[in-house]
Amino acid sequence: MSVLRRNNVQVLGTGDRVLLLAHGYGCDQSMWRHVYPSFLDTFKIVLFDYVGSGSSDAAAFDPTRYSTLNGYASDVLEILHEVEAEHVSFVGHSVSSMIGALAANREPDLFESLVMIGPSPSYINDGEYTGGFSREDIDGLLSSLESNHMAWSATMAPVIMGNPETPELAGELQQSFCRMDPMLAHHFARVTFLSDNRADLPQIKTRTLILQCAKDMIAPASVGEYVHQCIQGSQYTIIDATGHCPHMSAPEEVIREMRAFL
């Protein structure tokens, strides 16, 4: 199967530097539409959907390959090699921040920089580490998703998106959740919310920007600060935005900080 077809890869622009935009759980590449046009003049933009998301080929799903985030990182690397990318700036939202970290650790010479938007190496509290959720919280979230995908989507989308004054954003996120095959949605959720990538952070040698929303129910500031402390030389910026999807709710803030960093 073609890698480009498998992940619905789109390549835009003709710049020498590559900007790969990686979506978060339950999302797809369309959610970068407010951000990527601002970089078309200087970058070749690579957009894609993870297997099971958006317009990817769901038939390519392999429960063994995708049993950890490393499987998704392998897809990222395959995409970059397929489009003959060099000097890659990887922008990852949410779980994609850790996927990008894994990819960069495996092939550091391929990556010029990492931008992590709302990253979390582990969602579960552990001793002095505060991920934001107890194991019981996560088990309940996954159980709810498995038992009623539609109801879970309707409940969680407004929590994840925040910004109740713009309900259309939560509506778009809810629709994106609902388009996923329920089995694949539950599988990706388990991998996302049960992964622990804290040990991978100190290995990152790629220049890194961490963008943290001022108010985020999914990845609180304490998590962003932890990621910053673990990645030597990283830049940590709190943006004036609410919720877990600032590339949708506050794209101007994200674009400004990305431009300054890149």
Catalytic status, residue 216 = yes
Residues near 72 by Cβ (< 8 Å), separated by ≥ 6? 50, 66, 99
* Cα pseudo-dihedral 50, 55, 252, 168, rounded to 10: -120
The token pair at 111 is 């990556």
b or e along 168-198 (b: 16 or more beta carbons within 10 Å of the residue's beta carbon)?
ebbebbbebbbebebebbbbbbebbbebebb
Query: Which two tokens mark 93?
Result: 């939202």
Q: How far is CA 199 from CA 28, 65, 101, 254, in A?
A: 28, 21, 11, 27
Residue of 53, 56, 94, 96 with catalytic role:
94
> Residue 119: is it exposed, middle or buried by C-beta count within 10 angstroms (0-12/13-18/19+)?
buried
What residue spans of the chain are helical by DSSP H? Answer: 3-6, 69-82, 95-106, 135-147, 149-161, 167-179, 182-194, 221-230, 246-249, 251-261
200 flagged as catalytic: no
Question: What is the gyration radius of the CA atoms in the chain, in angstroms?
Answer: 17
Asked whether the beta carbons of 97 and 118 are under 8 A apart, the reply is yes
Classify the C-alpha dihedral 255-259-260-262 as positive or negative: positive
Cα 212 to Cα 240: distance, rounded to the nearest angstrom? 9
Q: Which of 216, 228, 234, 249 is catalytic?
A: 216
**Catalytic residue list contains 234:** no
> ∠ at Cα 10 (201, 8), nearest 5°?
80
The single residue of 195, 244, 247, 249 carrying the catalytic annotation is 244
Active site members: 94, 216, 244
